[in-house]
Structure 1
Amino acid sequence: MSTKKVVVIGAGVAGLTTALLLSKKPGYKIVVAAKHMPGDYDIEYASPWAGANYMPVSIGGTEAAKWDKDTWYPLADLAKNHPEAGVHFQECEIHSRAKDKGSATANWFAELLSPNPWFSKVVPNLLVKVQVAPKVVPAPRHGLGHGFHFISQCLGNGVIFKRAVYNHILDAAADCSVQLGGKADLIVNCTGLMASKLGGVEDKSVYPARGQIVIVRNDAGGKMLDVSGTDDGDDEACYVMTRAAGGGTILGGSYQVNNWESQPDPNLAIRIMKRAVRMCPQLTNGKGIGSLDIIRHAVGLRPVRQGGTRIEKERIGGLWVVHNYGAGGAGYQSSYGCAQAAVDLVEEACGTRSML
Structure 2
Amino acid sequence: MNVVIIGAGVAGLTTAMLLSKQPGYNIVVAAKHMPGDYDIEYASPWAGANYMPVSVSGTEAAKWDKDTWGPLADLGKNHPEAGVHFQDCEIHSRDKDLGSATADWFAELLSPNPWFSKVVPNFRSLPKESLGPGINSATVFTSVCINTAIYLPWLVSQCLANGVIFKRSIFKHINDAALPDVHPHGKVDLVVNCTGLMASKLGGVEDKSVVPARGQIVIVRNEAGKMLDVSGTDDGDEEACYVMTRAAGGGTVLGGSYQKGNWESQPDPNLAIRIMKRAVSMYPALTDGKGIEHLDVIRHGVGLRPVREGGTRIEKERIDGLWVVHNYGAGGAGYQLLYGCAKATVELVEEALGARPKL
The TM tier, using the shorter chain, reads over 0.9
2:133 — aligned with what? none
Distance of aligned partners of 1:11 and 1:176 in 2 relative to their CA distance in 1, 3 Å threshold: farther
Distance of aligned partners of 1:43 and 1:91 in 2 relative to their CA distance in 1, 3 Å threshold: same
Distance in 2 between the 1:288 and 1:176 partners? 57
Confirm or deny that 1:192 pairs with 2:189: no
Shift of 1:132: 2.9
Distance in 2 between the 1:49 and 1:227 partners? 20
Distance in 2 between the 1:115 and 1:278 partners? 24
| 1:291 equivalent among 291, 294, 298 | 294
Distance in 2 between the 1:191 and 1:135 partners? 34
Confirm or deny that 1:61 pairs with 2:58: yes
> Does the residue aligned with 1:152 lie in a helix, a strand or coil?
helix
What does residue range 265-304 of structure 1 map to in structure 2 within 5 Å? 265-304=268-307
Confirm or deny that 1:183 pairs with 2:187: yes
Shift of 1:177: 4.1
What does residue range 243-282 of structure 1 map to in structure 2 within 5 Å? 243-282=246-285
Distance in 2 between the 1:226 and 1:20 partners? 31
What does residue range 80-159 of structure 1 map to in structure 2 within 5 Å? 80-129=77-126, 131-136=136-141, 138-143=142-147, 144-159=149-164
> Does the residue aligned with 1:208 lie in a helix, a strand or coil?
strand
Deviation digits for residues 82-130 of structure 1 (CA, Å, limit 9, x no counterpart): 0001111001111001111111111111111112111111111001235
Shift of 1:286: 2.0
Confirm or deny that 1:209 pairs with 2:213: yes
Confirm or deny that 1:11 pairs with 2:8: yes
The normalised TM-score by structure 2 is 0.96
> Is the Cα–Cα contact under 8 Å of residues 51 and 145 in structure 2 kept in the other structure?
yes
| 1:70 equivalent among 64, 67, 73 | 67
Shift of 1:287: 2.0
Distance in 1 between the 2:202 and 2:3 partners? 18
Deviation digits for residues 231-280 of structure 1 (CA, Å, limit 9, x no counterpart): 00011001111011101011100000000000000100000011111111
Shift of 1:70: 0.3
Moved more, 9-18 or 121-130: 121-130
The normalised TM-score by structure 1 is 0.96
Segments of structure 1 that go 5 or more residues without pairing to the other structure are: none
> Is the Cα–Cα contact under 8 Å of residues 176 and 183 in structure 1 kept in the other structure?
no
Cα RMSD between the aligned structures?
1.2
> Does the residue aligned with 1:145 lie in a helix, a strand or coil?
helix
| 2:21 equivalent among 3, 24, 29 | 24
> Is the Cα–Cα contact under 8 Å of residues 189 and 321 in structure 1 kept in the other structure?
yes
> Is the Cα–Cα contact under 8 Å of residues 9 and 32 in structure 1 kept in the other structure?
yes
Shift of 1:355: 8.2
Distance in 1 between the 2:183 and 2:256 partners? 44
> Does the residue aligned with 1:352 lie in a helix, a strand or coil?
coil
> Is the Cα–Cα contact under 8 Å of residues 28 and 183 in structure 2 kept in the other structure?
no
Distance in 2 between the 1:176 and 1:94 partners? 50
> Does the residue aligned with 2:109 lie in a helix, a strand or coil?
coil
Return the letter of the residue paired with 1:326: G
> Is the Cα–Cα contact under 8 Å of residues 351 and 358 in structure 2 kept in the other structure?
no
Distance of aligned partners of 1:67 and 1:260 in 2 relative to their CA distance in 1, 3 Å threshold: same
Distance in 2 between the 1:242 and 1:234 partners? 24
Return the letter of the residue paired with 1:309: T
Distance in 1 between the 2:358 and 2:67 partners? 20
1:52 — aligned with what? 49
1:307 — aligned with what? 310
Deviation digits for residues 156-205 of structure 1 (CA, Å, limit 9, x no counterpart): 100000011110111111155452x2121000000000000000100010
Distance of aligned partners of 1:176 and 1:313 in 2 relative to their CA distance in 1, 3 Å threshold: farther
Segments of structure 2 that go 5 or more residues without pairing to the other structure are: 129-135
1:43 — aligned with what? 40
Confirm or deny that 1:174 pairs with 2:179: yes
> Is the Cα–Cα contact under 8 Å of residues 11 and 327 in structure 2 kept in the other structure?
yes
Distance in 2 between the 1:97 and 1:176 partners? 56
> Is the Cα–Cα contact under 8 Å of residues 311 and 342 in structure 1 kept in the other structure?
yes
> Is the Cα–Cα contact under 8 Å of residues 7 and 176 in structure 1 kept in the other structure?
no
Moved more, 62-71 or 113-122: 113-122
> Is the Cα–Cα contact under 8 Å of residues 176 and 184 in structure 1 kept in the other structure?
no
